[in-house]
């Protein structure tokens, strides 16, 4: 992501706690300096996996095609196990929020198969850039 010109503004490692996740993501959505929130982990089926539930209620619009495309791409790597992915994305306050599985491979799949193009204003016929809040100055915090 950094090679593509994106800046990491903030990073936080949270326990699988629905309310702590929701509060942190809500703060990032409200932050005028953050356009994209990438969340990894907590998208499976164990009792502690609650990231989709924590985030879905914060979204103004869910991007249904994100999860569908992620699972379609993932089938090439992990076969039918892809049905257990609850990856999702949506827009909230001009912020793209993506919930990804926690494995390095899944994050790479999402970046290379979806996000790299969708966060590039040159990608046609469409991308998410026009839907993101304008950010004047980005920097690293925390």
CATH 3.40.980.10 fits 16-131, yes or no: yes
**How far is C-alpha 69 from the geometric centre of its chain's CA atoms?**
13
Mind listing the pLDDT tens digit for each residue in 87-132? Answer: 999 999 999 999 999 999 999 999 999 999 999 999 999 999 999 9
Number of neighbours of residue 103 by Cβ within 10 angstroms? 13
Tell me the pTM. 0.90
Quick one: three-class SS letters along 63-82?
A: CHHHHHHHHHHHHHHHHHHH
Interatomic CA distance for residues 33 and 24, integer angstroms: 15
CB 130 within 8 A of CB 71: no
């Amino acid at each position: 992501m950094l090679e593509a010109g994106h800046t990491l503004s903030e990073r936080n490692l949270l326990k699988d706690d629905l309310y702590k996740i929701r509060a942190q993501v809500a703060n990032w959505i409200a932050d005028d300096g953050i356009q994209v929130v990438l969340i990894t982990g907590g998208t499976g089926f164990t009792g502690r996996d609650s990231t989709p539930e924590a985030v879905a209620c914060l979204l103004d619009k869910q991007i249904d095609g994100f999860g569908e495309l992620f699972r379609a791409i993932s089938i090439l790597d992990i076969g039918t196990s892809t049905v257990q992915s609850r990856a999702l994305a949506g827009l909230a306050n001009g912020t793209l929020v993506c919930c990804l599985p926690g494995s390095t491979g899944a994050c790479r799949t999402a970046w290379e198969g979806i996000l790299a193009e969708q966060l590039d204003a040159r990608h046609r016929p469409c991308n998410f850039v026009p839907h993101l809040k304008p950010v004047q100055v980005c920097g690293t915090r925390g």
